[in-house]
Amino acid sequence: MPAQVSGPRSASSRELLPEPPRERADAARNRRRVLDAAERLFREHGVDAVSMDAIARAAGVGKGTVFRRFGDRSGLAAALLDERERALQELMLSGPPPLGPGAPAAERAEAFVRAYLAHLRRALPVVRLSETASPGARYRIGSYRLWRAHLAALAGGAPDARYRAEAVLALLAADLVTAQLAEGATWADLEEAAVAATGRLLAC
């Protein structure tokens, strides 16, 4: 299939990460306190050892406040990742090539995989929590839908483009990456294997 010169110019507006809702000043303060407390406790104790109760106590808010605002541990983790994922989204949609528009589809797909793994490397435990803290959590994350739309567009109109995109993202799942690292793989190993597999899966 001929290489696409630029890939998708952008995801549709429905696929963009939605802007956070406007909050009352007290709600915004509580949200910041909860996120700061969660980030500190995760760093000090590890994500698996920290409960929502502990985060609420450290933030000085009621447990109900935390659950109403974030839903569960996966929602809290997703909120912690929001700023980083928005930065990746901006680079992907309007940054310089090859991650942004203006490069052949194959180059854009490779750039996305490398950039996503760099993001994962910086925050692997929190990404893993966001994807696994509740059944199906990974597929409810807004950024996941954006990554999928982007990769499907890079597949060049293949009838099973969405499935191909899902297969690429499965290779980048934090749980799988964690298991591979535990078995002795290096980040360089994972990156090169994921790039090679992405080229075959998307056929771009």
Q: How far, in Å, CA of 76 to CA of 152, rounded? A: 28
Residue 131 banded pLDDT, cuts 50, 70, 90: very high
Contacts of 146 by beta carbon, 8 Å cutoff, 6+ apart? 11, 15, 16, 17, 89
Strands (E), the chain: none
Contacts of 11 by beta carbon, 8 Å cutoff, 6+ apart? 93, 146, 149, 150, 153
Range of the domain at 179: 73-204
Residue 78 banded pLDDT, cuts 50, 70, 90: confident
| CA angle at 142 for the pair 139 and 146, rounded to the nearest 5° | 95
Helix (H) or strand (E) holding 175: helix 174-182
Helix (H) or strand (E) holding 168: helix 161-171
Asked if residue 203 is part of any domain, the answer here is yes
Does 65 share its domain with 84?
Answer: no
Q: Which two tokens stand for residue 54?
A: 């502990």
Does 80 share its domain with 62?
Answer: no
- The pLDDT tens digits for 42-70 are 989 988 899 999 999 999 999 999 999 88
Does 117 share its domain with 153?
Answer: yes
Helix (H) or strand (E) holding 133: none
The total domain count for the chain is 2
Does 127 share its domain with 168?
Answer: yes
Write the CATH number for 26. Answer: 1.10.10.60
pLDDT at residue 22 in the model: 63
Does 65 share its domain with 152?
Answer: no
Does 47 share its domain with 94?
Answer: no
Question: Which residue type occupies 12?
Answer: S
3-class DSSP state for residue 15? Answer: helix
Asked if residue 11 is part of any domain, the answer here is no
Asked if residue 15 is part of any domain, the answer here is no
